[in-house]
Copies of this chain bind each other. A is one copy, B any other.
Amino acid sequence: MTHRVTFMPHNREINVEDGASLIRAAMDAGVHINASCGGEGVCGKCRVIIESGEIGGGISEHLSSADREKGYRLACKATVHSDLVVRVPVESAIDASVLKSTYVPRRTARIHERNLDDLKEAGLFLPPVEKRYLELAQPDVQDHLPDVTRLVSHLKLHHNESRLTVNLPVIRKLPDVMRQNNFNVTVTLARPVMESGKTEIINVQAGDTTACNYAIAMDIGTTTIYGQLIDLATGAVLAESGEFNAQISYGEDVITRIMYAEKPGGLERLQEVVVGTMNTIIGKIIRRAKIDPENIAAITLAGNTTMTQLLLKVEPRYIRRSPYVPASSLYPPIRAVDIGLEFCDHVTALVYPAISSYVGGDIVAGVMGSGLYMESPLTLFMDIGTNAEIVIGNKDWMACAACSAGPAFEGGGIKFGMRAAKGAIEDFSLDPVTWEPMLMTIGNVRPKGICGSGLIIMTAIMFELGLINNLGKFNRDLDTRRIREDDGVWEYVLAWADETQIDRDIVLTEIDIENLIRAKGAIYSGCMTLLTEVGMTMQDIDRIILAGGFGSYVDLEKAITIGLLPEIDPERVIFIGNSSLMGAKMSSLTNRIRRDVVEVTRSITNFELSETASYMDNYIAALFLPHTDLNLFPKVGARLAARKKG
Chain B residue, CB-CB nearest to A179: B318
Q: How many residues of A contact B (CB 8 A)?
A: 46
CA distance A88 to B627 in the complex (A): 121
Binds B, one of A120-128, A144-152, A519-527, A638-646: A144-152
Chain B residue, CB-CB nearest to A329: B146
User: If A196-B196, A332-B167 touch, does A327 touch B147 (CB 8 Å cutoff)?
Assistant: yes
Contacts of A139 in B (CB 8 A): 323, 325
Q: Which of A128-149 contact B (CB under 8 A)?
A: 139-149
Q: Which of A150-207 contact B (CB under 8 A)?
A: 165-168, 171-172, 174-176, 179, 196
CA distance A318 to B175 in the complex (A): 8
For residue A454, give the distance in angstroms from its CB to the closest CB of chain B.
37
From A142, A148, A167, A317, residue with most partner B Cβ within 10 Å: A148
Q: Does A357 have its Cβ within 8 Å of any Cβ on chain B?
A: yes
CB–CB A146/B322 < 8 A: no
For residue A321, give the distance in angstroms from its CB to the closest CB of chain B.
10
CA distance A307 to B168 in the complex (A): 15
Of B145, B313, B317, B332, the contact of A165 (CB 8 Å cutoff): B332
CA distance A334 to B325 in the complex (A): 32
CB–CB B175/A332 < 8 A: no
Contacts of A326 in B (CB 8 A): 146-147
Q: Does A434 have its Cβ within 8 Å of any Cβ on chain B?
A: no
Chain B residue, CB-CB nearest to A353: B146
User: If A139-B325, A196-B196, A334-B168 touch, does A317 touch B144 (CB 8 Å cutoff)?
Assistant: no
CB–CB B144/A327 < 8 A: no
CB–CB A357/B324 < 8 A: no
Chain B residue, CB-CB nearest to A198: B197
For residue A148, give the distance in angstroms from its CB to the closest CB of chain B.
4
CB–CB A140/B172 < 8 A: no
Q: Does A99 have its Cβ within 8 Å of any Cβ on chain B?
A: no
CB–CB B328/A608 < 8 A: no
CB–CB B140/A323 < 8 A: yes
Contacts of A165 in B (CB 8 A): 332
Contacts of A487 in B (CB 8 A): none
Q: Which of A313-367 contact B (CB under 8 A)?
A: 313-315, 317-318, 322-332, 334, 338, 354, 356-357
Q: Does A486 have its Cβ within 8 Å of any Cβ on chain B?
A: no
CA distance A163 to B282 in the complex (A): 34
Of B140, B172, B313, the contact of A315 (CB 8 Å cutoff): B172
From A324, A328, A331, A608, residue with most partner B Cβ within 10 Å: A328
Q: Does A312 have its Cβ within 8 Å of any Cβ on chain B?
A: yes
Q: Which of A580-623 contact B (CB under 8 A)?
A: 608, 611
CA distance A172 to B271 in the complex (A): 13
Contacts of A171 in B (CB 8 A): 312, 314, 327-328, 331
Contacts of A318 in B (CB 8 A): 147, 175, 179
Contacts of A147 in B (CB 8 A): 318, 325-328
Chain B residue, CB-CB nearest to A197: B198
CA distance A323 to B143 in the complex (A): 8
CA distance A357 to B141 in the complex (A): 13
CB–CB B140/A317 < 8 A: no
User: If A148-B327, A148-B328, A326-B146 touch, does A611 touch B141 (CB 8 Å cutoff)?
Assistant: yes
Chain B residue, CB-CB nearest to A176: B315
User: If A327-B174, A608-B141 touch, does A146 touch B354 (CB 8 Å cutoff)?
Assistant: yes
Q: 26 A-B contacts, Cβ less than 8 Å apart?
A: A140-B323, A141-B323, A141-B611, A144-B323, A144-B356, A144-B608, A145-B325, A146-B326, A146-B327, A146-B328, A146-B356, A147-B328, A149-B328, A165-B332, A166-B332, A168-B312, A168-B331, A168-B334, A171-B328, A171-B331, A172-B312, A172-B315, A172-B327, A174-B327, A175-B315, A176-B315
Other CB < 8 Å A-B pairs besides A146-B326, A147-B325, A148-B330, 13 of them?
Answer: A141-B322, A143-B323, A144-B608, A146-B325, A148-B327, A149-B329, A166-B328, A167-B332, A168-B331, A171-B327, A174-B327, A174-B328, A175-B327
